[in-house]
Structures are given as C-alpha cells and as structure tokens.
Amino acid sequence: MKTVKGLALACHPGPTLAVTVLVTAVAWSAGRSPAGCLLVAATILTGHLSIGWSNDAIDAARDTIVNRQDKPVVRGLVSRRTLAIGAGVMLVVTIPVSLANGFAAGSVHLLFVACAWAYNLGLKSTVISWLPYAVAFGGLPSFVTLGTAHVWAPWWATAAGALLGIGAHLANVVPDLADDQATGVRGWPHRLGAYARLIAPLPLAVATGLLVIAPAGAIGVIGWIALALVAGLLATILLWRNAPFLVTIAIAAVSVIALVLRGNSLT
C-alpha cells in the first residue's frame, strides 16, 4: 500500500486529474461518443502517468539533495527504480492507446508526451524550457478535433492552449525557484527570477480571453462570470508570493468549463 500511495503521489495527481477531466469534457462537447470520451480519458491518463513518474524518477537525486518532503521518493514511499519502470510501462501503453484515437490525433498526443519527456530529460534547465509546454498544450485542442471531426482546432484554441501551458510552466516553477537553483536547474523562469511571478498571469489572462471572447456568438452571462472569476484568480497569483499551482489549474478549469457551458464546440 505504501508503494501504491507513492505512485499515486508521484504522478502529480492534481495536474494529471485536471488535464484528463478537462480534455475529456472538451471532447464530449465536441461530439465524442461515451466510448470515445473514455478513450480520450485513457489516452491523457496513461500519457500523464508516464510523464509524472519519469519526472520524479529523473529528479530523485536532485530532490533528495534539497530534502523535498513533498516528493514520495524523498519520503521513502516509492523507489526511483519503481517509478522508472512504471514510467516506461506507461510510455509503451500510451502509444497504442493514443493511436486508437486515429493516426493524426494519436500522433498529436504522442507529440505532447514527447515534449513533456524532453522537458524532464533536460530542456527544463535551458532558456527554452517554456517551449515544450507551449507545443504540448497548444496541440491538445487538435488532439480532440482530429479524433472527432478530423480537422485541426481553430487558431484561437491552439493559441490559448499554448499560452495556458506557458503560464502553467511559470506558475509551477515559481515556488521551487530556490530549490531548483540550488541543484543547478536554470530554466527560463529561473533566469527571470522575481519577475517570473509577475509575468505568469499574463499568458493565463490572454488565454482566458481567447477562450471566452474568440468563439462565435455573444459572450453571455457565463462568459462574463468566467472572466470575473479568472480575474480574481490572477490577482491571487500576483498577491500570493507562492500561490499554489492549483490556482493555475483553476484558471484553466474555469476557462474550459465556460467554453463547454456556452455550447461552443471546437469543431
């Protein structure tokens, strides 16, 4: 049971669950059948398990040096070897599961996974650490539309996804800047230093604006409520020095839920 708990915590459960649920919701709103939605959920989940477990396996030594007690490996709940094996198994599993959505859609999701692995394996320590996030999350809308209507997602959805990814990257790294720098990680947010926290809300705000304003039709009450909620969450990121990453997830959730409730389909 200790190992199971360690695996559950090491998969980065918050982002994994959030992205799985939100992408599945968008797939449902785009017209996927119940079986298709289950396939979408399985695709996103298996990909994220491989990403989360590989991240903690690769960073195990670094996390131990700075005594990251939020990491299961440091707490002795799961071994680095177990995480590495689990990540490899999920990487193999996610390939056929992804392609079951169709070759084009599956390839887009596998690009998402490849970007995340590239980040884990070294891009996180470079000035282009934002790029894997932008490409990966920018492709998620097209993963949905290619698997549903065999068309690419509209430009505004792709741009919003990329911006949400960049904002998430900044917000996710800010609380760990000191620990990362102590172990030699020098990604884009680390080079920005204190400015990273101030810049993080900008791409998130633009992404929300695109998802609420760009789709055809009036913004409506739901759209205005979403904008107000996101404005409050963005203020939280600015005022709360180490605002939890869950605030960023909440911004994405509000934006996507507003899109779905307004009946706007990406296709």
List, for residues 124-173, the tens digit of each pLDDT value: 999 999 999 999 999 999 999 999 999 999 999 999 999 999 999 998 88
- Model pLDDT, residue 267: 61
- Provide the 10 A C-beta neighbour count for residue 22: 20
Question: The whole model's pTM is what?
Answer: 0.91
First and final CA of the chain: distance in angstroms? 43
In whole angstroms, what is the distance from residue 139 CA to residue 110 CA?
A: 10
Tell me which residue of 74, 99, 73, 75 sits closest to 87, measured CA to CA: 73
pLDDT > 70: percent of the chain? 99
Where in the chain are the domains?
A: 2-261
CATH code for the part of the protein at 2-261: 1.10.600
Which structure tokens are listed for 8? 């559950």
The answer, yes or no, to whether residue 249 has pLDDT greater than 70, is yes
List, for residues 195-244, the tens digit of each pLDDT value: 888 898 999 999 999 988 888 777 888 889 989 999 999 998 888 777 77
216: left (phi over 0), alpha (psi -120 to 50) or beta: beta
